[in-house]
A and B are shown apart, each in its own frame.
Chain A
């Protein structure tokens, strides 16, 4: 990084473009994950500033770089994910340049164009970003546009408009007063980070929560011969199922928590019973069947988990009424419990267990299909079939 600036000057890049490139780092650091999907960074501010101040290749490079830096350095995502993000960031910039007709025709870019053209470029950029983000959410996370737009979509749009507005304003200042604008732009980036910081804390906090919940699940698993099964994975399957069944977002959130913590009640059952290889006698069976009830009791008094307690209580009810603890059947069982049961079963079959190897997805689907209408809700099993390709 230290050598980048002199090196760039040597090969003839404007030092002001280097400043814009340097601003990528703070902009990419401020990464806020959104619910239900997507994330925002401060990159629109740098991209828009570059769009109206620098030759066309600069904003394109900045968009791509900021996405990669943010994903690899600050979110520890794999490189494939980073490249995907880079595409999502770069396409809107290219579109804005093409539609305003400056990509190939004018090497100096939008600097010389009127405010109207610059505004048009910004509008195209913001619009394309939101459209791409909604497409991504619907294809990769199964969130339909109607759910995405009023939640993450709205936040993304507001963020892009706000940051673009600030960047556009400061860039005009730069055009009028030269260096002052760049100075102000740098200060603005720091000020923006300061004011966005609480949102980043909030989003990091949410990640820590889910990490802690899956840690608790892992701890419970110690009682069960340590199957190494990942609650996180079961939870991802359950969320996917819930979305494909078009449940409301608050319900999805409860299911996500319930799927991680569904076995927490096993903490109150003796390890001897849980690990017993032979058939349980009636008293042991009774104790074992208490675990959903104990789990719900642990979760009930906790504000954040109370909503998911009911789902946990009924996650061993069978569709034909043969389950426990209350022997509910069909539509009496909460939808969340029916989903968690299927997700957990699918996850258990497709992961290695101490006593047998993991089985293939196809085999797992066949087993679940056999239990459809008996143990499992046919609707949920059908949903699983439709999303299996993504799991």
Chain B
């Protein structure tokens, strides 16, 4: 745990400035706060405290706090300075209860959150937004822009301080952070806008109803993530059981899947694509089941065996078709196509071959060479195998995939 004593001087200065700025704003504009609305202000503060104490896990990983929703409601229905005070205090208390009391961190987090919400609230006012006249231009647009201001400021305060502390480039982290939290923040806008309208037109206490729905959401997401793990485990162990029967031996499919998804990530494919490629990597040779009789001890295959082996991508694709994902069975179908059109079963070339199939082809060839599996009879040392892949770049393999493959290998060696 960092303490103020161990912080460098300029950090102490920065933190002090932020905390004092927040305090000064409240001091100077304190008259603007509508103290007669103290029950509402207190309710906001309590809700923010509670929600920042219990974060909700996000299905895609990480956590989302429903604090953001409350901040958006707050910035639209209260004065900027009230929003600063309430958001700052509530967030500081919630932060201290959930992550421990470290004075500088607690004060800094409270102050930065307060200033971010205050700034956003000011933006909302300046743009002419009001929840009393709900419409797209008079409410939704200023509301959305204000939320972006809040996110920008909040991300800045967090990434700047911690980026400097850990000596990482804070500006790039800031941009990445902004991009990552953008979609989830935009998604909270409709519910926040609805709550703001209900707050104004019905009763401020409608916010409490929202609080009631949080445990249910939390429960559903946790259940989903737990189930997803259980399902994954079930499917994985079945595939591993099948894998033991493949001519290449146990673990081959898993290794191909891992390498293929690493290449896909390197090529910056989208998450669903990477997922499909990993799955297809696991299943690429599922059509080989039942062919083990063709491989005697000598790995000699007669011509009818060759015919049958050439059918394995089609057989595999038919099986993978049971899954509700078209893209997976297509990768299985075309993972023996070559970039120059000399492959099977269709003889597709270049971009006609799905990108996932081009990736799995490289991953499978490399892993087969390492393991001495089909069609290679001897084990290759990794260096030689990489060279073979490089030589076949442009003929058998897509050059861009080979490049990404080499990059992932180099990273592994560096580590």
Contacts and interface: CB of A to CB of B under 8 A. Distances in A.
Interface of A: 173, 176-177, 179-180, 183-184, 187-188, 190-191, 194-195, 197-199, 201-202, 205-209, 211-216, 218-220, 222-224, 226, 261, 264, 267, 270-272, 298, 301-305
Given A264-B241, A272-B293, A184 B220 contact: no
A214 B292 CA distance: 22
Contacts of B293: 270-272
Given A194-B190, A219-B286, A205 B224 contact: yes
Contacts of B322: 211-212, 214-215, 218
Given A194-B188, A222-B287, 12 more contacts: A177-B201, A179-B134, A188-B194, A198-B59, A201-B224, A209-B234, A211-B323, A222-B289, A222-B319, A267-B242, A271-B292, A303-B230
19 contacts: A176-B201, A179-B135, A180-B134, A180-B197, A184-B194, A184-B197, A184-B201, A187-B190, A187-B194, A191-B194, A194-B190, A195-B217, A208-B324, A209-B235, A212-B235, A219-B319, A220-B289, A271-B293, A302-B234
Interface of B: 59, 134-135, 187-188, 190-191, 193-194, 197-198, 201-202, 213, 216-217, 220-221, 223-224, 227-228, 230-231, 233-235, 237-239, 241-242, 244-245, 283, 286-287, 289-290, 292-293, 315, 318-320, 322-324
A298 B244 CA distance: 12
B136 to A, nearest CB: 9
Contacts of A206: 227, 231
Contacts of A184: 134, 194, 197-198, 201
A234 to B, nearest CB: 14
Task: Tell me whether chain B's interface is mostly helix, strand or loop, or mixed.
Answer: helix
Nearest to A218: B319
Contacts of B220: 198-199, 202
Given A183-B197, A202-B220, A209 B231 contact: yes
Nearest to B288: A222
Contacts of A209: 231, 234-235
Given A202-B223, A219-B286, A303 B234 contact: yes
Contacts of A188: 194
A223 B234 contact: no
Contacts, number: 135
A391 to B, nearest CB: 21
A196 to B, nearest CB: 8
Contacts of A208: 231, 323-324
Nearest to A202: B224
A190 B190 contact: yes
A252 to B, nearest CB: 18
A213 B323 CA distance: 9
A271 B290 contact: yes
Contacts of A197: 59
Contacts of B289: 219-220, 222-223, 267
Nearest to A265: B241
A183 B217 contact: no
- Leading 8 A-B pairs by shortest Cβ distance: A191-B191, A190-B190, A198-B220, A215-B322, A187-B194, A222-B289, A222-B290, A304-B234
A35 B320 CA distance: 25
